[in-house]
Chains A and B, each alone.
Chain A
Amino acid sequence: MAYESMIAESVTIPGNNHEPISAYAARPMGPGPFPGVVLIHHLPGWGEFYREMTRKFAHHGYAAISHNLYHRLGEGHADDVAAKARAEGGVADDQMVGDTEGAVEWLRAQPYVGSKVGLIGSCSGGRQAFLYACRRDNVDAVVELWGGRVVQAEDDRPAKQPIPPISLTKDLSCPLLGLFGNDDRAPSPEQVDQHEAELKAHNKDYAFHRYDGAGHGFFYYHRPMYRVEQAMDGWEKIFAFFSKHLAG
């Protein structure tokens, strides 16, 4: 059996406006070059699930980093910090773009990272991943997992998220993979229809997979929303997508 090993560690990276933020990075041991993956955590926080997901990408041969969008809210248990974020209306889109750009640039600067970097996020992080790929052109592939509020209602224009990501579809800068559950309400199947119609209208390179028998967050094995068949199929699609677009 071939020897395998990885390194996973906390790092500090320059975020929005070069402010230092915390992050968690994992990669296979060895010189590389490894394709890079940036992970945008979900609303419930920068916690254990995203640490595991970061290591999962390292296990599959990627150099991965998950940055802490809630860094400025202070230290604490991930769920307490997430509660503070929720009470404050989440994080501002502009700040998120700056922080994520910092993570992408940090990854690209590592000697063991190749020329391609992908982006993935779930829930609020799915929306943010799509939004980022519309506002920046420095990722090579993006995966949106059940992104809530890509479509925002007319009366849903808070100061922190003033622009519905769907309105930026024409600027999407890389191929997109989207995974959704047909029992989800945020995004609802109708909102996913709108999202897809806009991608088609702008002739974008995308693939959506919409699962019956699954709702929101069907990858979360520690939650009742977990759906093993759909999750396993979804992971296969993610790795096939990144393998295709992040090779070389």
Chain B
Amino acid sequence: MCTSIVEVVRAEGAGKSMDGWFPVSHAVVSYDHPNHALLDDAIIIDFVNQDRGPGARAAVELTLESAKALQGALARAIAAAEAEENELPRLRATAA
């Protein structure tokens, strides 16, 4: 490969490929030549299942700016989700 910019993390959830839904095992984030987006290089995010064939893949190819916007949206959504989750124990305690 030409850039060597690849980050791999474990991921749990489900992704949708051309063949339908599959359980996700990893997320792969790279900056390299996209296959489809009309860019020289792109942030490529692949949600894959490494125990299955290459087709178990949900992919996006984004501009750097789009990736930064996504990073911000993820951070905001995660912060809101954690606030929501932290509220649950209090509600359960009140109900009891």
User: Could you tell me which A residues sit within 8 Å of B by CB distance?
Assistant: 42-45, 73-84, 86-87, 89-90, 123-124, 148-149, 156, 158, 186, 215-217, 223-225
Contacts and interface: CB of A to CB of B under 8 A. Distances in A.
B75 interface: no
Interface string B4-37: 1010100000000010000000101010110110
Interface stretch (B50-58, B64-72, B79-87, B88-96): B50-58
A216 B2 contact: yes
A214 B50 CA distance: 36
Given A87-B6, A156-B4, A215-B40, A43 B53 contact: no
A76 B46 CA distance: 15
A86 B39 contact: no
Nearest 3 interchain pairs by C-beta:
A148-B2, A76-B54, A79-B35
A217 B59 CA distance: 22
B24 to A, nearest CB: 13
26 contacts: A42-B33, A43-B2, A44-B33, A44-B35, A73-B54, A75-B53, A76-B53, A76-B54, A80-B57, A81-B54, A82-B35, A83-B28, A83-B46, A83-B54, A84-B54, A86-B1, A87-B8, A87-B30, A123-B2, A123-B33, A148-B1, A156-B4, A186-B3, A216-B40, A217-B40, A224-B38
